[in-house]
Every structure is written in structure tokens, then in C-alpha cells.
Amino acid sequence: MNDPNGMVYHNGTYHLFFQHNPDSTVWGPMHWGHATSQDLLHWEEQPIALFPDSLGTIFSGSAVVDKDNTAGFGNNALVAIFTHHNHTLAQNQAGLPQYQSLAYSTDEGKTWAKYEGNPVLPNPGIRDFRDPKVMWHEESEKWVMTLATKQSITFYGSPNLKEWTKLSEFGEGIGAHGGVWECPDLISFDDQGKKIWVLIVNLNPGAPNGGSGGQYFVGDFDGTTFRPFDTDTRWLDFGRDNYAGVTWSNTGNRRIFIGWMNNWEYANVVPTETWRGATTLPRELGIEKINGKWYLASQPVPELSAITSSLQKLPSVDGGESLSLKATAGNLPETYRLDLTYPADHTFEVTLKNDANEQVTFGYAASERCFFIDRTLAGNHAFSEKFASKDSAPRIGDQPEIRVSLWVDVASIEVFADDGLTAMTEIFFPTQVYDDIVLQGQSGARFTDVHLYRISPTTN
Ligand code: FRU
């Protein structure tokens, strides 16, 4: 799998579609794969939802529940809005290969039909013209499409999902422009009855630690124009491996995000065999004001508590001690979560280790106010010279103590610091599972509320 697509919640089921090439584990003619879940944790793969057709292969996009039958496919029809990518036009340098199309399902997402009037939004002359994210804008009573258009975002409006008019364009002279803008999302949050709007814009390359990443802007959206409150570039995740992430539609006030845990710098060559690509944990996004500015905070969804059980609690550990959790708790399970708190004016490291002398270190450098993940010694990195790296992230939180939560799987770590104000997601390929964690701080500064949890696998 590559990008998550068409995420929509409907009648108790979370639908997750995804960029998928059924014939290979490298990128190729894209289809929409499909998986469903009732709890965001246990997923069941469904038959492929969208196949390439005469208009092209099926690139990224979104899905909505058309409650009022604005499109005429039926009340509560699921409607997917996606990019058709025409390979023949793409090869012709002057060709304009991308345009937006619809497909719909009236049987809860089991079967899909393409709309016979496709494409609904023809290409106006922009080569990179893709990844529509559609939402219902209540105040102006219309559908709004957020579309990546080369290195800007263009907003389109529609009464019926079939006819689209350009509303405005955003992005010139603001944000990161190291690469093409892709997979955007426009979401709102409630701040005491007032809406705060966040525009997520993935880009590739141009992320702070190289390659693919997701930036975001915070501001106001009046149904036509997005106006950011400031010109800062903010990042959803500073790790190397959280790309093309967007949120579910039709989840009420919840903003549930999932990303593709990969980076285009090496996505096609990672050393996996039967699979390639995975999602991040589902994360709930919130907003928080720090020093007068709004930021996104990402937290693993609370549903995860159903597969989380306590393994060991250490109320207080001296930072000078170099504490091995294998020594105190025994071999770690393959999937676990570790929470801890540490004073922000001191430096600390948390190292995942195995018996093959491989390791991944997450840490905080107090003098630079920076978190980091070092995967230079993590295991196999021969597949790409871009892979082995030490990556850093600024601390955004401003409390005297840093609270971090590390979610570790066999081949990934997801770090949420300061309640998710700084997030870092990275993958790695050790030859053996990391079955030990070593905590190392500075003497006199104590780790507190160290809590290790087992995370039960949700697949066999
Ligand atoms: C992002 C992306 C999208 C595009 C899709 C094609 O990873 O490049 O912009 O729609 O992948 O697979």
C-alpha cells in the first residue's frame, strides 16, 4: 500500500481505501485497495474497490457520505472523488494527465460504479493536478474540494459533486516549496464556538529531515478563501516516515488521521518481502495554543486502550543510571508502548536494542531544545543511501517537564512528545526484534512515571 485514500466513516464502519498495485510490491498502475474496521484497530481487507479504466489509473482522493443525495446517486450514497491519471498523456511531455472523477457505492462500500460523466473536473492546464479532498462546508452549504495544484492548493466549490467552480488559490510565497504539493486536507476545530481551520499540505520532497512530509497552516476559511493567521511553516510529524496523511470524513467532531509510514526517497526499495508499506497508527488531531500560536497535536486514538495492558511501572529512576528495561521487566514484547516524563532542562536518550548490536535512539538535546531519532545503527540500510539518518525535531511544548509516549512495533517507532505537539514517525529494519530499552539521562534529573505497556497484535 501507499497513500491512505477515501477514508470515510459510515454506519459504524471505518472505510480505509489505499493506493495499491495488486501485481507488485513496487509502485505501478494504481487501484484503490479497501479495508474496513469497526474500531480503527482490527482491519479486514475487502476486494479492490476501484480499478483503472479508459480514463486512467486511480490516484489519491477522498470519499464522502452524500446524506441529502446532492449528486443523485441515492440518499447516503458513498461518493469517492479521486484523480484519474492517464499514463499515455503523462508520457507525452505536453500532456495533462490528471483530472478528477467520481465513483459511488449504494451498498455500504461493497461495490463501486464509476460515474459515466467522468471526469467531473477536467485539467485546466496544470500538470500536477491531483488528490482531491472533499468536505461539506455547512456555512455556505456546498461541497468544497481542496486540490493540490503543482505547488499551491486550489479550492473548488460544488452543489452536487459533479459541477465544480474555482473558489481561490493558496500557497504562493508561503510554506515549504522544496517539492510538489500533494494530498491536502482542510479540517476545522472548535475553539469556544469559533472555528479554527487547519490546512494540511503534504509535499515531496522538501520535508525538514529530507524527502516526503506533511506541513500545515492554521487560519480561517470563509467558504471561499483560506487565510492563515501567520506565515509560519508547521510540521505534522518531523520523522521521515509519515506521508500523504489525511483525515476521515463523517466523524463528527473527531479528526482522525492516518498516514502512509514511508518516504518516497526509498519507498520502492525498503527490504520487505511479502508486503511493502503500512499506515501509521490512527491519530486523533487536536489544536493547542502555545505562546499565542495554534499548533496541531497528534495523539494515538483512545480506541487503542482496548489492546493496551500494563507491564511495568517505575515511579522514579535516576537519569544517571542507564536503566535496562529488559533487566527490570524481562524481554519486551514485539509491540509495546513506553511513556515517561523528564525535566526539559536536561538531556536524555531512550535506546531500543537487540542482541545483534543494532539500535535506534530517540532522545532530547536540552541545549538545542530538540528531539531526535537516530537510526544510523538500526539494522539493514544498504538498500538506500538516503535511509540511515539522525533526524531532529524542535520542541514546541513549553512545560517544565517533557512527557513522551513511544509506540514501538517490529519495524517502526511513533513518538508523541508534549501530548503530540511534536510527533516523529520512523521505520527501521533490524535483523532481530529490539527486545530491550535503555533509559539514559543525566544524574540528578529523574525519569518519572515510567510506564511500559504491552500492545497486543491485531493481526495474525
Ligand atoms: C503521493 C502521491 C499522490 C498521488 C499518488 C499516486 O504519494 O504521489 O500525489 O495521487 O501518490 O500513487
pLDDT-based confidence at residue 460 (cuts at 50, 70, 90): low
**Distance between Cα 183 and ligand 1 center (Å):** 7
pTM for the whole structure: 0.98
Averaged pLDDT score across all residues of the chain: 97
The pLDDT tens digits of the residues spanning 219-254 come to 999 999 999 999 999 999 999 999 999 999 999 999
The pLDDT tens digits of the residues spanning 354-386 come to 999 999 999 999 999 999 999 999 999 999 999
The pLDDT tens digits of the residues spanning 111-129 come to 999 999 999 999 999 999 9
284: Cβ below 6 Å to ligand 1? no
Calculate mean pLDDT across residues 191-197.
97
391: Cβ below 6 Å to ligand 1? no
Whether the pLDDT of residue 8 is over 70: the answer is yes
- Residues above pLDDT 90, as percent of the chain: 97
Give rounded-to-5 percent helix, strand, coil for the chain.
5, 50, 45
Whether the pLDDT of residue 67 is over 90: the answer is yes
Cell of 414: 511513533
Q: Which residue has the higher pLDDT, 93 or 394?
A: 394
Mutate to test the pocket of ligand 1, among 5, 130, 268 (most ligand atoms within 8 A of CB): 130
Which amino acid type is present at position 423?
Answer: A
Position 220 scores a pLDDT of 98
- Residues above pLDDT 70, as percent of the chain: 100
Burial class (CB in 10 A: 0-12, 13-18, 19+), 440: middle
Calculate mean pLDDT across residues 91-98.
91
Whether the pLDDT of residue 103 is over 70: the answer is yes
Position 459 scores a pLDDT of 81
60: Cβ below 6 Å to ligand 1? yes
Q: Which long-range contacts (CB under 8 A, 24 or more apart) does 34-42 make?
A: 34/109, 36/109, 37/13, 38/12, 38/13, 38/14, 39/303, 39/306, 40/14, 40/256, 40/282, 40/301, 40/303, 41/282, 41/303, 41/304, 41/306, 41/307, 41/458, 42/458, 42/459
pLDDT-based confidence at residue 274 (cuts at 50, 70, 90): confident
Calculate mean pLDDT across residues 2-26.
97
Task: Tell me the DSSP string of 382-419.
Answer: TT-TTTS-EEEEE----SSEEEEEEEEETTEEEEEETT
The pLDDT tens digits of the residues spanning 128-163 come to 999 999 999 999 999 999 999 999 999 999 999 999
Residue of 3, 374, 391, 418 with catalytic role: 3
Collapsing DSSP to helix, strand or coil, 222 comes out as: coil
- The Cα 420–Cα 194 span in angstroms is 23
Mutate to test the pocket of ligand 1, among 32, 59, 101, 212 (most ligand atoms within 8 A of CB): 59
C-alpha torsion sign, points 182, 302, 418, 387: negative
Which amino acid type is present at position 361?
Answer: T
- 3 tagged catalytic: yes
**Distance between Cα 229 and ligand 1 center (Å):** 29
Rg of the Cα trace of the chain? 22
Position 331 scores a pLDDT of 84
What are the φ/ψ torsions at residue 302 (nearest 5 degrees)?
A: -60, -20
Residue 27 CA: nearest ligand 1 atom is 12
C-alpha torsion sign, points 83, 84, 88, 92: negative
Cell of 301: 486514538
**Distance between Cα 457 and ligand 1 center (Å):** 29
Position 94 scores a pLDDT of 86
The pLDDT tens digits of the residues spanning 382-427 come to 999 999 999 999 999 999 999 999 999 999 999 999 999 999 999 9
Position 330 scores a pLDDT of 87
Position 289 scores a pLDDT of 97
The pLDDT tens digits of the residues spanning 292-323 come to 999 999 999 999 999 999 999 999 999 999 99
Whether the pLDDT of residue 93 is over 90: the answer is no
